[in-house]
């Protein structure tokens, strides 16, 4: 299965996620949903935030040229938000999955949907 298929079929098609991407720790974007303008530098900073917890809390993250407040950094998961939307970043063995929810979606459904894909990747050693 291609990386784009994971994004489109396992995340966007569920209607629980507005936009999503899969990327590596060096910022290389493997796949992203249509219209999601995440930069390689933003993906790299998001991956680095797992090891720079205090910086993430103090400065937030910029994704798609928009600044987000980081509210939780745990091993394997970062949660961020603005007033209108939020995101979840899951760390798998080799990659990171970021997904967003909007104001007409529930954060819990977005988190569950993204977490399932992350669990699948982990079970496959990805």
Res 1: pLDDT: 77
Task: Identify the DSSP state of 28.
Answer: -
Paired with 62 in beta bridges are 67
Number of domains in the chain: 1
Predicted confidence at residue 24, as pLDDT, reads 98
Q: What is the mean pLDDT of residues 36-63?
A: 98
**Could you tell me the residue range of the domain that residue 54 belongs to?**
3-123
Residues 56-107 pLDDT 10s: 999 999 999 999 999 999 999 999 999 999 999 999 999 999 999 997 889 9
Three-class DSSP category at 43? helix
Q: What is the dihedral of CA 4, 75, 123, 80, to 10 degrees?
A: -30
Mean residue pLDDT of the chain comes to 97
Instruction: Give the pLDDT confidence score for residue 9 in this predicted structure.
Output: 98
CB atoms within 10 A of CB 8: 15
Place of tokens 């720079």: 52
Q: What is the CATH number of the domain that holds 32?
A: 3.30.450.30
pLDDT digits over 28-38, tens only?
999 999 999 99
Read off the pLDDT of each residue in 99-116 and give the average, rounded to a whole number: 95
The model carries a pTM of 0.96
CA distance 99 to 13: 12
């Amino acid at each position: 299965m291609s990386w784009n298929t994971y994004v489109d079929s396992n995340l966007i098609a569920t209607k629980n996620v507005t936009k999503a991407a899969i990327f590596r720790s060096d910022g290389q974007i493997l796949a992203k949903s249509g219209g999601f303008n995440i930069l390689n530098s933003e993906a790299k900073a998001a991956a680095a935030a797992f090891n720079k917890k205090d910086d993430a809390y103090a400065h937030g993250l910029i994704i798609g040229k928009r600044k987000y407040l980081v509210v939780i950094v745990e091993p394997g998961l970062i949660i961020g938000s603005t007033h209108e939307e939020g995101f979840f970043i899951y760390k798998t063995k080799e990659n990171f999955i970021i997904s967003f929810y909007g104001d007409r979606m529930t954060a819990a459904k977005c988190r569950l949907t993204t977490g399932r894909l992350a669990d699948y990747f982990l079970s496959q050693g990805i």
